[in-house]
Amino acid sequence: EAQVTQNPRYLITVTGKKLTVTCSQNMNHEYMSWYRQDPGLGLRQIYYSMNVEVTDKGDVPEGYKVSRKEKRNFPLILESPSPNQTSLYFCASSFRGENTEAFFGQGTRLTVV
Amino acid sequence: GDSVTQMEGPVTLSEEAFLTINCTYTATGYPSLFWYVQYPGEGLQLLLKATKADDKGSNKGFEATYRKETTSFHLEKGSVQVSDSAVYFCALSPNTDKLIFGTGTRLQVFP
């Protein structure tokens, strides 16, 4: 089954404790991205990757890191989480091109206390 | 910059009512337009899309027409069901791989 898998689904952590949210896709997509969803703000792009070893900042990259060592995986790293990073996070993947469908993971609800 | 504006929610309807969710956009050039739906506890999934002016996207009884003259892409359905209760996102792709989303509109359908 074609899918984007995120883990964990739920995470509660403390300020400053490094964490990684994993994302994996099995559709051989070149393009992968991370979004955060906040009430009243919709989805905002954090980082994206157009292919292996190619990553770039989205609209809200501060406090986040990513890597793309393999085509299927695109982990999101919070080196020192802060409460303002409490949010619902989505990973998405697609083929390149403006008309293509993006496939989303089920989301990771992160709470930083 | 490019942006999408959606009507505030929630939209509350009785089953079999007519649905309209308004979406307008600002973009340079000719973006592709999308509606994504998010069911409770799930990620977003593509509902329909349109890639050029006057195109009509349709799926599962939902329709939206790309109106360049009014920069709009309103979502409509003739008869909603309880199972349509979800959050609906309008989005555009401005000639790149990137998606720019609206803030989302929650639809609640009651029996």
Report the pLDDT averaged over residues A44-60. 94
Report the pLDDT averaged over residues B76-94. 95
Considering only CB atoms, A104 lies closest to which of B41, B43, B96, namely B43
Phi, psi values for residue A21, rounded to 5° = -105, 125
Cβ contact B9:B104 at 8 Å: yes
Query: In this complex, is the C-beta atom of A54 within 8 Å of any C-beta atom belonging to chain B?
Result: no
Residue B95 pLDDT > 70: no
Residue B102 pLDDT > 90: yes
Report the pLDDT averaged over residues B15-44. 94
Question: Residue A11, Cα to own-chain centre: how many angstroms?
Answer: 14
Q: Which of B99, B100, B105, B106 to mutate to test the interface with A (most CBs of A within 10 A)?
A: B99
CB contact under 8 A, B32 and A106: no
Distance from C-alpha of B43 to C-alpha of A91, rounded to nearest angstrom: 9
Cβ contact A107:A88 at 8 Å: yes
Report the pLDDT averaged over residues A55-77. 97
CB contact under 8 A, A96 and B97: yes
- What confidence score (pLDDT) does residue B97 get? 75
- Comparing A4 with B1, which gets the higher pLDDT? A4
Q: Which residue has the tokens 């003259």?
A: B69
Question: What are the start-end ranges of the H helices in B9-50?
Answer: none
| B56 C-beta neighbours (distance < 10 Å), count | 10
- Comparing A5 with B98, which gets the higher pLDDT? A5
Residue B12 pLDDT > 80: yes
Residue B90 pLDDT > 70: yes
Strands B19-21 and B75-77: antiparallel
Residues 6+ apart with CB under 8 A from B3: B25, B26, B27, B100
Residue A24 pLDDT > 80: yes
DSSP bridge pairs for A37: A43, A88
Residue A90 pLDDT > 70: yes
Residue A6 pLDDT > 80: yes
Q: Which amino acid is at A107?
A: G
- What confidence score (pLDDT) does residue A100 get? 83
Per-residue pLDDT band at A1 (split at 50, 70, 90): confident
CB contact under 8 A, B31 and A94: no
Distance from C-alpha of A1 to C-alpha of A22, rounded to nearest angstrom: 19
Mean pLDDT taken over chain A:
95
Residues of B at the A interface, defined by Cβ within 8 angstroms: 4, 31-32, 36, 41-46, 49, 51, 89, 93-99, 101-104
CB contact under 8 A, A98 and B94: yes
Report the pLDDT averaged over residues B58-86. 97
